[in-house]
Structure 1
Amino acid sequence: MRTGSRRPGRIGAGIAGIVVALIWAFPVYWMVNSSLLPDAVLQSSSPTFLPFGGSWSNFTAVVSGGTFLPALGMSVLVALVVVACSLFFAFLAALAISRFRFRGRKSFVLAVLFVQMLPAEGLFIAQYKLMSSVGLLNTVLGLSVLYIAAIVPFTVWMLRGFVAGIPVDLEEAAMVDGLSRTQAFLRITFPLLAPGLVAAGVYAFLQSWNEFTVALVVLQDDSSRTLPLWLRGFVQASASRATDWGQVMAASTLVAVPVIVFFLIVQGRMTSGLVGGAVKG
């Protein structure tokens, strides 16, 4: 009786979940569908829900424009630097906070939380003056430094809960068996932290890949633009000659595809990392 009474509720919840997922996914589908259709079809009064008769011409026009690949390279370099450095610094800080007791530990934790409260807009002038004074405007290094400073506090807090959830007894038992402290950490503890590191890495990647306002302040040279800035410039250039929505949608798809692919690759570990860090902290 209980199983039978629960089944309609589960079916209803499943249907509701599917409907919500379809609503969420429809804008993405519409973007990809529109990118395959010519502008004449998109301008018609009746919508076209399937790209029958579509082509890759919009993508070819966007890529052959000569500005997409440099922007892609800029975004990839920035994302790689930010992810690597953010994970390195955040991991060491989370390890220190969770495993060691030292003077100023509570002050450091409060400083991490305080940095998260600062509005990004209030730092734009100071960031611009700083990057200008050291000659890092329009550079991968300058933008990466600002991103790392903004991303590390949250990743520290994310990894802290995960590190704290791994018992120290595991390392001590390995040390009793003859391993050094470093060997015990690398062989026993570090593999257990992989989901948390993946979750923090995904967060750092998404923040650096999609960020727009800081890049707009620091990257003022047209030859040094990340993909969000490039997309804005592409839309503005298209609007000056009557917007070609097919190419705009193709450009938007090219910006979104790397994020989607990356997320699909790591989503399993990312989910377990987020849940693990939440319940173990």
Structure 2
Amino acid sequence: MSSVPVPARPRRGARARFLRRRGWDVLGIALCVVLVFPVYWMVTTAFKPTDEINSITPTWFPSSPTFDHFRDAMARPYFWDTVKNSVIVVVVAVLASMVIAFLAAVALAKYRFTGRKLFIVAMIGILMLPSVGLVIPLYVVLARYHLTNTLTGVILTYLTFVLPFAVWTLRGFVLGIPKELEEAAMVDGSSRVGAFVRILLPLVAPGLVATSVFAFITSWNEYIFASVLLSDQSQQTVTVWLSYFYGTSRDTDWGALMAASTLTAIPVIVFFLLVQRKIMFNLTSGAVRG
């Protein structure tokens, strides 16, 4: 009579590893819920009728979704003016920072000059400074040149904290490009400018995309400098306009406020979704190269 083989019991070590992995999975899911829940509540509140928002019993899903709060938010004074101002500031700041940062990154990575190490140390030091500590000095400098309450002053201010990070990030991408590629192009008859445009620029383009995402998100969501420098409501950015969003004299119009917050977040989300694949690949490749 043949005996039936008894399956071996799982080892304690394997079971402990299994429980440990499941514990980390549960912790990750809980952390994700905590991070996502405020955004979820903001979006759902924007679609809820006013009665559901003011109800003592919270509702997780809007029973009858409405777009009235979005129409109310967009009809508020200076909404479209502030959106236009934010677009102007962000586009100019991102383009200017990418051009300047790329040229500076090439100079730091490809050439040796006096003060190069000191420039890198100073750039890192600027990144370590809290942005709040720069408000008063920048305001004094801009006021001397009559650049307060202007979009030009805000753009110049944004460059002070966007440029150092962009230069440092792009420098890692440029260092990862072998010099032999440019030298081979010059041997084939291309000029230094031609090798720069045809070889170096296309290879660094992924890094420019990844860095521009940081510049876009930082410039679009910035509030402190814009609120200090811009006093005229028609010149303010959308984040400053959102901070002055009130309802009636008795209470806050939470529906319109959440709708306005959702509208403010849409450009960042759309821009991130358009380049998310390049972000994940380029940031990791840049980290390995740097």
TM-score exceeds 0.5? yes
In the alignment, which residue of structure 1 is the partner of 2:208?
Answer: 197
In the alignment, which residue of structure 1 is the partner of 2:105?
Answer: 94
CA deviations 1:51-90 (Å, max 9, x no partner) are 2311100000110113210110111100001101111111
Secondary structure of the corresponding residue to residue 269 of structure 1: helix
Displacement of 1:118 in angstroms is: 2.5
Question: Using the alignment, how far apart are the partners of 1:214 and 1:232 within structure 2?
Answer: 13
Residues 1:257 and 2:287 are matched in the alignment: no
In the alignment, which residue of structure 2 is the partner of 1:242?
Answer: 251
Question: Using the alignment, how far apart are the partners of 1:275 and 1:195 within structure 2?
Answer: 11
In the alignment, which residue of structure 1 is the partner of 2:238?
Answer: 227
2:95 corresponds to which letter in structure 1?
A: A
Query: Please, which of 173, 179, 192 is the counterpart of residue 190 of structure 2?
Result: 179
For the 8 Å contact 1:212–1:228, the answer to whether it is kept is yes
Displacement of 1:28 in angstroms is: 1.4
Displacement of 1:109 in angstroms is: 0.8
For the 8 Å contact 1:197–1:273, the answer to whether it is kept is no
Question: Using the alignment, how far apart are the partners of 1:18 and 1:190 within structure 2?
Answer: 41
Q: 1:33 to 1:148 in 2, by over 3 A?
A: same
Secondary structure of the corresponding residue to residue 238 of structure 1: coil
Residues 1:268 and 2:282 are matched in the alignment: no
In the alignment, which residue of structure 2 is the partner of 1:65?
Answer: 76
Displacement of 1:131 in angstroms is: 1.6
1:87 corresponds to which letter in structure 2?
A: M
- Root-mean-square deviation over aligned CA pairs: 2.2
Question: Using the alignment, how far apart are the partners of 1:271 and 1:76 within structure 2?
Answer: 25
Question: Using the alignment, how far apart are the partners of 2:20 and 2:199 within structure 1?
Answer: 40
Question: Using the alignment, how far apart are the partners of 2:185 and 2:139 within structure 1?
Answer: 49
Displacement of 1:176 in angstroms is: 2.2
CA deviations 1:146-184 (Å, max 9, x no partner) are 111221111111111111011111111222222222222
Question: Using the alignment, how far apart are the partners of 2:165 and 2:234 within structure 1?
Answer: 31
2:67 corresponds to which letter in structure 1?
A: W
In the alignment, which residue of structure 2 is the partner of 1:213?
Answer: 224
Displacement of 1:16 in angstroms is: 5.9
Unmatched segments (≥5 aa) in structure 2 = 1-9
> What are the within-5 Å matches in structure 2 for residues 162-177 of structure 1?
162-177=173-188
In the alignment, which residue of structure 1 is the partner of 2:137?
Answer: 126
Structure 1 runs (4+) deviating above 3 angstroms are 5-23
Unmatched segments (≥5 aa) in structure 1 = none
Displacement of 1:22 in angstroms is: 4.1
In the alignment, which residue of structure 2 is the partner of 1:35?
Answer: 46
Larger radius of gyration: 2
Question: Using the alignment, how far apart are the partners of 1:28 and 1:163 within structure 2?
Answer: 37
Aligned residues: 276
Question: Using the alignment, how far apart are the partners of 1:168 and 1:61 within structure 2?
Answer: 57
1:254 corresponds to which letter in structure 2?
A: L
1:248 corresponds to which letter in structure 2?
A: L
Question: Using the alignment, how far apart are the partners of 1:9 and 1:89 within structure 2?
Answer: 51
For the 8 Å contact 1:196–1:276, the answer to whether it is kept is no
Displacement of 1:211 in angstroms is: 0.8
Question: Using the alignment, how far apart are the partners of 2:188 and 2:28 within structure 1?
Answer: 49
